[in-house]
Every structure is written in structure tokens, then in C-alpha cells.
Amino acid sequence: MSGPPYMPWFNQGKMAQITIVGAGIVGMATASMLSHHHKVTVVARNLPGDKPSIEWASPWAGVSFIAGGCSSPAEAKMQLDAFAELWRWSDVYPESSIKKIPIEDFHDDKTEEDIWWKDYMPEFRFLPPESLPKGAKLGTAYKSLILNPDIFLPWLRQRLEGTGVQFKRMTLTSLSEARSLGHDVLINATGFGSLTLNDVRDQSVELIRGQTMLVKSNYDKLFMRDTGDTYTYVIPRLDGTAVLGGTRHKGSVDPNPDLDLCQDIVNRVNKNLPSHFSNNLQDYQIVRHNVGIRPSRVNGIRVEREVKDGQKIVHAYGVAGGGYIFSFGIARAARDLVEGYLFPHHPAKL
């Protein structure tokens, strides 16, 4: 028997109500995907426009798009989806701060076969061995993207509010506490909040402290060197400043910058780019220290449905050091799961 597709919300002329817990890049990108067809409310303890705080990760990011670092083909797809959307936005919304930029990315522990993104990144090429920094085994170059979260997050919030998305400040101790909001589906985009929410308590969530320095610099190319043990980068903001990093420390949540780590960062940056960056901290005009906690997860990103206490939930967290790199990709995957709840008998979902 044929008939109209099963779309109860559309057929009744009303939109489904979606609550997103979390206003970091994952929650915001997901709101952007869902707000075309649904009524979306974002609730969070920390909101774009707030002063950066150690309580969330998104304001502290570089931000650069450096491909790789996926634990599954599904994650690789999310990266590519996000890249395509951010690339498009860099053309359509220059005020978002997203800019195209050339990148040189060096590896000490990879071969050409490991570089799965070589067929996808614009203008991708392997660099000749004689141009590699000492010790590096492989060099790649392509066209990538940067953005400034101080501009991007408030801009995206404003854009979403313009399309009817509501933002509410709210701190939850459990997801079930949100049931009174009366939504059809709840999205859990709380980052490392998923470690402490009473009815999530995901023990595979790991806190990875990162520290960078925003300094005055006119350097205009993205630089990345991954030795396997350490990774060193320069992310130009193309506004007379650049972010120097990086560090990865498990477990520590100290919000104060460690000056020994600053010295370690400039030593490594100087070693790789001696004609552009000094190894003497005194030579730098430091605009800001950034210390944030990356919401990592031992088993990789969680994008999953769960019905708990009668509440339809889509989990979307665990993006570690790649919240922006996965952004619209994880958002698209979450949107598909929402649609699966709303239209369970639609042929595409069978």
C-alpha cells in the first residue's frame, strides 16, 4: 500500500522541538544543521559571548583545520563533511572569521600510505625530502582553513538567533533534569560534561589539557610538525597575531599557564622555523595565554542514540582536539539520528 511518508510533525503542521545541551562548537554546529526544519533551543552553562573559562573548551581553540587523527572511517567522513561546509562558509560568510590558508604539515612517524586525506584536501602535494625540517620523514602541503573562536562563536550564535534558535543559560546535574523542557529529542553536546552528568558518567571521557600562546606575528602559513611524542604548530590568525603550540597533558585541569611550557613551545617552534621565530620568550609580545581542556574519549567520538527515562537522546561528544575539524560532520551525523527518531518508518531509515 502506498501513501504519504510518515512525517507526523510535518503532517500536523508543527515542527519538532529539539533541545541541545551544550553551546560549544559541537552544540552550535548541530543547532545550525537542525534549525532549518525544527524548533531548536540550546541550553548550556557556558554560552558564546561569555568570558573564556576552563569550564568549556571551544573558546580556547587555535583554530586550524589539520586533517587526520581519526579512529574510524565514520570519523574521516565527519572531517570531510565539516571541511566542505567550513570551506563554503569561508566564501559565503567572510565575517565569520573563517579564512583559507596554505598549510605545511610534517610527520616523523607516518608514511604516504597513512595520509588518507591526500585525495580530498585542495592543492594537496607531498613535499620534496630536501625541504623537510631535520628528523621529519614526510612533508605535505595543501590549502586549509583557520578561524578565530572569539569572533566565530558569538557570530554563529547571533546567526542562529536570527533563524529562531533560542539560547538559555542552564546548568544540569543530569540529562533527565531537562525533561521538563518538553522536547521531542534531546542532544547531549556537553563535551567533558559527559564525565560528570549523573545519568551519563562516561568513564571513557578523558581530560587533555592544552596550552598555547597568542603572540604578535605576521607569519602567514599554517605550520604543523607531529613527531609522535610532541606536536608543534603555528596558527596564523592573519590579523598580525599567531597561536603557538602545542601541548597535550592527560588529567591536568590547571587553568594557569605554565611558563616552562611556554619556553618549551618557543624552543620547538624556533627549531622548526628558526628564521621566523626566536627561542627567547622575551622576544615575543604575548597577547594572551590559552589554557583549555580537550574533551577526549578513549573509544573515539560518541554519536549515538539512547532512550533513557523515556527521553529520546542523541549523544554527540568526545571530539578531543578536533571540535572544529569535526564540527559540521558530527552535526550531520547527529541530525541523521534525530531524523531516525522523528521518522522511524521513513524508507530511508529502515
Ligand X SMILES: Cc1cc2nc3c(=O)[nH]c(=O)nc-3n(C[C@H](O)[C@H](O)[C@H](O)COP(=O)(O)OP(=O)(O)OC[C@H]3O[C@@H](n4cnc5c(N)ncnc54)[C@H](O)[C@@H]3O)c2cc1C
Q: By three-state DSSP, how is residue 305 classified?
A: strand
Order of strands, sheet of 185-188, starting from the edge strand that comes earlier in the sequence: 166-169, 39-44, 17-21, 185-188, 311-317, 302-308
d(CA 278, CA 273): 9
Residue 292 binds ligand X (CB under 6 A): yes
Question: Does the protein bind ligand X through residue 321 (CB under 6 A)?
Answer: yes
CB of residue 318 vs ligand X: minimum separation in angstroms? Answer: 8
| Residue 324 is a binding residue for ligand X (CB under 6 A) | yes
| Pick 51 or 134: Cβ nearer ligand X | 51
Question: Per CB under 6 A, does 24 bind ligand X?
Answer: yes
| Minimal distance, residue 323 CB to ligand X, in Å | 2
Binding site annotation covers 227?
no
Q: Is there a binding annotation on residue 157?
A: no
Strand partners, 88: none
**Residue 193 near ligand X by CB under 6 A:** yes
Residue 35 touching ligand X (CB under 6 A): no
Distance CA 303, CA 295 (A): 14
Give buried/exposed letters for 113-129 (b at 16+ CB in 10 A, else e): eebebeeebeebeeeee
> Based on CB atoms, which residue is closest to ligand X, 197 or 342?
197
- Under the criterion CB under 6 A, does residue 19 sit at the interface with ligand X? no
Interface segment toward ligand X; rule CB under 6 A; list 51-59, 133-141, 259-267, 280-288: 51-59
- The answer to whether residue 107 forms part of the interface with ligand X (CB under 6 A) is no
Look up cell 538567533; give the residue: 161
Cell of 249: 597533558
The three cell numbers of residue 338 are 534525530
Are the C-beta atoms of residues 199 and 176 closer than 8 Å to each other? yes
* Whether 143 contacts 121, CB under 8 Å: yes
Q: Which is nearer to ligand X, 172 or 342 (CB)?
A: 172
Alpha helices in the chain (DSSP H): 8-11, 25-34, 73-92, 149-162, 259-272, 323-342
Number of residues that bind ligand X (CB under 6 A): 41
Shortest distance, position 25 Cβ to ligand X, whole Å: 5
CA distance 33 to 336: 10
Determine whether the annotation assigns residue 159 to a binding site: no
- Is 52 one of the binding residues for ligand X (CB under 6 A)? no
Q: Please pick, from the candidates 19, 41, 46, 140, the single residue that binds ligand X as defined by CB under 6 A.
A: 46
Determine if 290 is a binding residue for ligand X (CB under 6 A): yes
Instruction: Considering the complex, state which of residue 57 and residue 342 has its C-beta at the smaller distance from ligand X.
Output: 57
In DSSP terms, which residues pair with 225 in a beta bridge? 106, 232
Determine, following the binding rule CB under 6 A, whether residue 32 of this chain makes contact with ligand X.
Answer: no
Query: Which of 18, 23, 156, 303 is the binder for ligand X (CB under 6 A)?
Result: 23
Residue for cell digits 572531517? 79
State which of residues 40, 165, 197, 205 lies at the interface with ligand X (CB under 6 A).
197
Binding flag, residue 232, ligand X (CB under 6 A): no
Angle between helices 149-162 and 25-34 (to 10 degrees): 30
Residue number with CB closer to ligand X (24 or 139) = 24
List residues forming the annotated binding site.
190, 294, 321
Binding residues for FAD: 190
